[in-house]
Structure 1
Amino acid sequence: MNALPPPGYPGFPPPGQYAPLGYPPAGYGPPPGYGAPPPGYGPPPGYGPPPGYGSPPGYGSPPGYGPPQLVPGALKPGIIPLRPLTLSDIFNGAVGFVRANPRATLGLTAMVVVVMQLVSMLATFGPLAAYGRITVARSSELSGGVVGAWLGSMAAGMIVTWLGGMLLSGMLTVIVGRAVFGAPITIGETWVKIRGRLLPLLGLALLEGVAVAALFGLVAVIIALLAVAGVPALAVLLGFPLVLAAIVALVYLYTMVLFAPVLIVLERLPVMEAITRSFRLVRGGFWRVLGIRTLTFVVASFIGNAVALPFSIVGQVLLVSGGTPSTGGLLLSSAIASVGAAIGQIIIAPFNAGVITLLYTDRRMRAEAFDLVLQTGAAGDPYAAASTDNLWLTRPV
């Protein structure tokens, strides 16, 4: 039996006015803070498809993924992987670009080297003929003209070799630049790419020659002035350190401008800009660049001398087998030795050019994240020659 609550007790409704369980009492609105869901909310959980879920896994392409991409560390469209290079990568790439395009590489090298050897032979023909007369003459009959002709011919041969080597290096740089992407190139295409850069390359070669002559000329003048001043002992004492300092300075400058020919060809820079940019690229990795270039020189010299040595031996044997040396014998001996030297140069010149170009590529990867640029180009069409050539540029041309 239900008793009525005493009057005065609030909160207890009279009998018969209790609301069913789960519903608010009549006359009351929704509790504060409740009501319609806040804007932006969808249906309550459990109604409709679960939020955030699309099609069942395994159907269609996964959301957020584009076309398949190669792993950047394993991307290798051509002769090198497109990441900072190791010594093994550089040497393998320098050999690999010759194997990938032997016709253009060895063909260009053979043409330039043969011309260089012929010019050198013509330059030394006069002095060799003069030497033939000297063998039957007395020492008092030696003239300044004969000595001058000999020195002039030797200087001409050195200049021809220097300029020819610079031009050959530029031509081979074009081939290496394409081989990085595995793209082929013909001799004709190489010539089209390089002919506009011949004058800057020649200017760089002449500038380097002037710098070398000025450096050693300054040392010679200092030693000569000390000797003329009546202190020959001081000249001898200071001469050796000065020559050694000049050699060290020459090695330093050579290393710092090592990439200048590559920059002239691939980035199409003027001479002075190529020199300053080479300084910037080498500065952060001087000892690595110097070490790899020195090792390359040792390896290339060993191979070149090993190839040329048998020819030199044959030439010397023919020269001494006839008794007294004659002009004809000297010419024949020199011709045979030149053949061996030419074959050696045809083998090692591409290797040298390949190492320098790939070392430049490695320095750009390490200093400028250039590997990301190369990966972008390789992810497109590596055989689009114009697009891959433009990847090397650092400014509009």
Structure 2
Amino acid sequence: MSADAGGYYYPYAAPGIIPLRPLNLSEIFNGAFAYIRANPKTTLGVSTIVVVVAQLLAVALQFGPLATGGALAPPDLTGPDPDVTVLMGSLTGAMAGAVAVWLSSIVLSGLLTVIVGRAVFGSAITIGEAWQRVRGRLLALLAYAALETLGAALVVAAVAGVITMVAFVLNGWAAFAVGVPLVFAAIVALVFLFTKLSFAPTLIVLERLPVVAAIERSFALVRRDFWRVFGIRVLAMLVAALISTAVGMPFSIGSQVLILMGDSAGAALAGMALAAVGAAIGQIMTAPFTAGVVVLLYTDRRIRAEAFDLVLHTGAGGGPAESTDDLWLTRRP
């Protein structure tokens, strides 16, 4: 509720999944579930298509090298170690499958961001329309994701390199003494960057910013609310992890039983497929929620920092749904 000059109270406009004012935690979480209920065909349809294609590709990339190398045959516990080529094939397949899942998560995040953006105004969107809105931003999203991954890898590699060098020049105790604070500092740095960059993908999609500009603007939006952004994001990740684990646990157990107890490549493939099914269902259920939390938290930060609710109110009166897409754009003199 809000009061006018005469002391009368009136409700905030809520044309869609959230009231157009600063949000609290429960409103962000409720909104992240509400947009799924409001448009389940598009939200769950997009998630299912992207996740299933990615999981099928991941299983194929993992199964192919393993089957070719004979690694899916029952293990001979008394025989020699597996051939190096088999191990390399298995590692290559696993890495290729991980890349496929990673790329799919980027595409899915962009599509869900568009869906949430429309749901704020109570507007639905089809899968085709969501794709039309996102496809022009995919290269920027991929570039940002690659840059983020490279940055994290460089931090880890630098810490590992320093520890290894100290161990080689001095001894293990010296490496331990140097390594503990370095590892702690690296974790702090990664958490800091994880939080400060929370809104960069959303900015790339909704505000259509280039990568560097999105990074700079994400830092600016988080600047005065770091711990709140960090806490809500971590809590959302914990909720998603619990849901995903609970859903995937029976499939994971069944997969391990099939792989260990089976006596053929078919049984091993069935086990891998069962694990992929569990992972897919878990991601289909949690990816929309996680994306919704990030976009609504971003919306809340703009409302608090930029009085963005005044802009959002201009799209609350109806009209073409496409017109609300431009409301997310940053207005500059």
TM (normalized to structure 2)? 0.91
2:264 aligned with 1:287, yes or no? no
1:241 paired residue number: 181
AA aligned opposite 1:99: R
Asked if structure 2 preserves the Cα contact closer than 8 Å seen for 1:128 and 1:331, the reply is: no
Match of 2:47 among 105, 109, 125: 109
Question: Residue in 2 aligned with 1:93?
Answer: 31
Q: Cα offset for 1:150?
A: 2.8
Q: Which residue of structure 2 lines up, in the alignment, with residue 388 of structure 1?
A: 324
Separation of aligned partners in 1, 2:214 and 2:98: 24
Q: 1:359 aligns with which of 275, 287, 297?
A: 297
1:1-397 superposed matches below 5 A: 73-126=11-64, 128-129=66-67, 130=69, 131-132=71-72, 135-136=75-76, 140-322=80-262, 326-378=264-316, 380-381=317-318, 383-395=319-331
Alpha-carbon contact 1:72-1:82 (below 8 Å) kept:
no
Amino acid at match of 2:87: V
| Number of residues of Structure 1 aligned to a counterpart in Structure 2 | 323
Q: Mark the runs of 5 or more structure 2 residues left unpaired by the alignment.
A: 1-7
The alpha carbon displacement at 1:153 in A equals: 2.5
Shift of 1:126: 4.0
Query: Which segments of 5 or more consecutive residues in structure 1 lack a partner in the other structure?
Result: 1-69
What SS is found at the alignment partner of 1:221? helix
**How many percent of aligned residue pairs carry the same amino acid?**
55
1:353-382 Cα offsets, whole Å, 9 max, x none, are 00000000000000000011111221x32x
- The 1:71–1:82 alpha-carbon spacing in structure 2 relative to 1, beyond 3 Å, is farther
- Give, as a single letter, the amino acid of the residue that structure 2 aligns with 1:393: L
Q: Which residue of 2 aligns with 1:62?
A: none
Note if contact 2:74-2:264 (Cα within 8 Å) is conserved in structure 1.
no
1:142-168 superposed Cα distances (whole Å, 9 cap, x missing partner): 444333333333322222222211111
Root-mean-square deviation (Å): 2.1
Q: Take 1:143 and 1:317, find their aligned partners in 2: how far apart are those partners?
A: 25
Q: CA deviation at 1:207?
A: 0.7
Q: Name the CA distance, whole Å, in 2 between partners of 1:230 and 1:140.
A: 37
Aligned-partner Cα distance in 1 for 2:73–2:169: 39
Describe the superposition over 1:236-279 as per-residue Cα deviations: whole angstroms up to 9, x where unpaired: 23223322322221111111111011001100000110011000
Greater displacement, 285-294 / 248-257: 248-257
Normalised by the size of structure 1, how large is the TM-score?
0.77
Q: Secondary structure at the match of 1:74?
A: coil
Indicate the residue corresponding to 1:45 in structure 2: none
Per the TM alignment, residue 134 of structure 1 is displaced from its structure 2 partner at its CA by: 8.2
Cα 1:246–1:145, aligned 2, differ >3 Å: closer, same or farther?
A: farther
Which of the two has higher C-alpha Rg?
Answer: 1
Structure 1 counterpart of 2:75, which letter? T
CA contact (8 A) 2:258 2:268 kept: no
Judged with a 3 Å threshold, the aligned counterparts in structure 2 of structure 1 residues 320 and 149 are, in CA distance, closer, same or farther, namely closer
CA distance in 2, matches of 1:197, 1:360: 18
Contact 1:134 1:142 (8 Å CA) reproduced: no
Return the alpha-carbon distance in structure 2 between the equivalents of residues 122 and 344 of structure 1.
Answer: 20
Cα distance per residue 1:14-45 (max 9 Å; x no partner): xxxxxxxxxxxxxxxxxxxxxxxxxxxxxxxx
Please identify runs of 4+ aligned residues in structure 1 that moved more than 6 A: none
2 CA distance for matches of 1:265 and 1:368?
Answer: 19
Counterpart residue number, 1:67: none
Q: Per chain length, whose mean CA-contact separation is higher, i.e. which structure has more relative contact order (CA < 8 Å, sep 6+)?
A: 2
Q: Is the 8 Å Cα contact of residues 47 and 287 (structure 2) preserved in structure 1?
A: yes
Q: 1:319 to 1:144 in 2, by over 3 A?
A: closer
- Encode CA deviations 1:280-311: one digit per residue, 9 max, x unaligned: 00111110000000100111110111111111
Structure with more helix by fraction = 2
Q: CA contact under 8 A between 2:156 and 2:186: conserved in structure 1?
A: yes
Q: 1:78 to 1:143 in 2, by over 3 A?
A: same
In structure 2, give the amino acid aligned to 1:263.
L
Alpha-carbon contact 1:257-1:278 (below 8 Å) kept: yes
